Structure 1
Amino acid sequence: MTEQRSAGMSRRALLGAFAATTLTAAPTFSKAAGFLRGAGDIRRLKMYNPRSGERIDMIYWIEGDYIADAVKEVNYFMRDWRNNKVKSIDLRTIDIMTAAHNLMDVNEPYMLLSGYRSPETNAMLRRRSSGVAKNSRHIQGEAADLRLGSRSVQQMARAAAACRAGGVGRYSRSNFVHMDCGPVRSWGS
């Protein structure tokens, strides 16, 4: 171990450097993190955004530590795509998304429909739909609307609810699941 450090690069530093460069195209600790224990020393988030064409395959946590540069990349990826405004995404939400993904045992990346929403975007969406909350957790950077082609809304919602770490909304007609780090609750069909 001493020889590796004298060479200038520890295992942790090497993994951190690797993780910070895996973007192609997040300190809070949630109950969802319990589902991530035993899954190895890393946490990885895979998503794509059909609106921006961007993809992310990001290791954002290694051996008990969030990787700041990776979290910044996740925040940028989950920005309000309508106006490019960026807000820090609550790490608990990222952990819930990752834990649910692991529970479903899929390799397919999430399709991100909505991450952070600026107040302006949320107000515009409220004018168009009665299903958009005035004080949406999206405005706080605490929510994501997600889809998987290989899993049903019901399967995704069950995995997210199993984390017992936040809100889970089922939107079967629109084929997506809302996940957030707010109080534990569920809605929709």
Structure 2
Amino acid sequence: MPFGRHKPQDCPCCDPALAGRREVITAGLGLLACAAVPRAARAAPPLAPVRSLRVERSYTEDSFDGVYFRNGRYDREALHKLDWVFRDLSAAEVTPMDPRLFDVLHAVAQQLDATEAFVISSGYRTPERNSQLRSSRVSTVSLHMSGMAADFRLPGRNAYGVARAAAQMQVGGVGLYRREGFVHLDCGPPRRW
């Protein structure tokens, strides 16, 4: 769907009719997940009631610096702006990103006390673009194609240190691309490479 034409029902995270039920389900699932994880592995900070993000896109002047979650819900306008920043540049295609990705980035920024912007080199990728990048390091089922992943640099920060901190938090997938100097984060299951 083109930029700016999302409907509220397109994103279950934003649907006001599900807000109360979603919070109860989320809390219950969170308690179950915490019970299953050993105390030593619970390094991720709790998600803040107000969540913000600072991102810039490589090769463009697109950026977002603001709040995307408040009052118990995601801000639709902020999500649309973030979708634009994270779009597939090669196809000029925008897709609704999974808001949990922004939560992962927010949590990592908090953990690192980062005030600088994440410089995004890759967000959403069309399947065509992903197949063009095929190598031993590009998955044919990449979470980039689902709007659930981002590759980035954090200026002034060592990529290894960023990846290590994110991996210890166990909030999603973490990939370190040392030679290229960037980190991959996604909101899939905790894993690292």
- Which band: TM-score by shorter chain? 0.7 to 0.9
TM-score norm. by structure 1 comes to 0.76
Q: Does 1:69 align with 2:96?
A: no
Q: Distance in 2 between matches of 1:141 and 1:154?
A: 24
Q: What is the deviation of 1:57?
A: 0.5
1:122 match: secondary structure: helix
1:13-58 deviation per Cα after TM superposition (whole angstroms, max 9, x unaligned): xxxxxxxxxxxxx9286979x6244x5x421111111212212102
Q: Does 1:162 align with 2:168?
A: yes
Partner of 1:106: 114
8 Å contact from structure 2 (residues 163, 176) kept in 1: yes
Q: Distance in 2 between matches of 1:105 and 1:137?
A: 26
Q: Distance in 1 between matches of 2:169 and 2:70?
A: 20
Q: Distance in 1 between matches of 2:46 and 2:71?
A: 12
Partner of 1:134: 140
Identity %: 37
- Corresponding residue to 1:149 among 138, 155, 158: 155
Instruction: Give the gaps of 5 or more residues in structure 2.
Output: 1-10, 14-21, 31-41
2:120 match: secondary structure: strand
Q: Distance in 1 between matches of 2:164 and 2:86?
A: 23
Partner of 1:8: none
Q: Does 1:123 align with 2:134?
A: no
| Residue identity in the other structure for 2:191 | R
Partner of 1:56: 64
Q: Distance in 2 between matches of 1:182 and 1:81?
A: 23
Q: Distance in 2 between matches of 1:50 and 1:146?
A: 9
1:179 match: secondary structure: strand
1:169 match: secondary structure: strand
Q: Distance in 2 between matches of 1:61 and 1:163?
A: 21
Q: Does 1:86 align with 2:101?
A: no
Which segment drifts farther, 153-162 or 97-106?
A: 153-162
- Corresponding residue to 1:181 among 182, 187, 190: 187
RMSD across aligned C-alpha pairs, in angstroms?
A: 2.1
1:35 match: secondary structure: coil
Q: Distance in 2 between matches of 1:163 and 1:75?
A: 25
Q: Give 4+ residue runs of structure 1 displaced > 6 Å after superposition.
A: 28-32
2:180 match: secondary structure: coil
Q: Distance in 1 between matches of 2:71 and 2:45?
A: 15
Partner of 2:45: 35
Would the alpha carbon gap of residues 99 and 46 (structure 1) be closer, same or farther in structure 2, given more than 3 Å must change? same
8 Å contact from structure 2 (residues 117, 155) kept in 1: no
Q: Distance in 2 between matches of 1:162 and 1:131?
A: 22
TM-score norm. by structure 2 comes to 0.75
Q: Distance in 1 between matches of 2:54 and 2:46?
A: 15
Number of aligned residue pairs: give it: 157
Q: What is the deviation of 1:144?
A: 0.3
